Amino acid sequence: MKESASRCSECDRTVYPPRAFCPYCGPAIDAVYEVELGSEGVILSYTVSQMPPDGFEPPLVLSLVETSSGASILCHGEESVIDSLEIGLSVRIHKGEDGLFHFTLK
């Protein structure tokens, strides 16, 4: 996966999507550079919604994943992973044809 993120050379935080300046340090710090988002990460948090918003089918499996670059992104998972979900679990990340990020278990 060749998605880009931004890393601040002042605070060393990584954010997605890429930005022209660090949202933590502000526009006065002109010290961001592009990094690869990464295709692996660790689950920080997750939820399974049985009553998702319009446009999604239940169960909607969502996980906040910290990528190998340090950015946190929201990823969709398959129903088959529900019983295996836990905080700290290593996952692979990819961008689906729907334009959304998805995760699979390693």
Torsional sign, CA 34, 35, 38, 42: negative
Contact criterion met (CB below 8 Å) for 74 and 44: no
Q: Are 61 and 95 found together in one domain?
A: yes
Model pLDDT for residues 36-73, shown as the tens digit of each residue:
999 999 999 999 999 999 999 999 999 999 999 999 99
Q: Are 46 and 21 found together in one domain?
A: no
Give the number of domains in the chain.
Answer: 2
Q: Are 86 and 46 found together in one domain?
A: yes
Q: How far apart are CA 94 and CA 90, in angstroms?
A: 14
Looking up residue 47, the CATH number of its domain turns out to be 2.40.50.840
Q: Are 16 and 44 found together in one domain?
A: no
Model pLDDT for residues 72-99, shown as the tens digit of each residue:
999 999 999 999 999 999 999 999 999 9
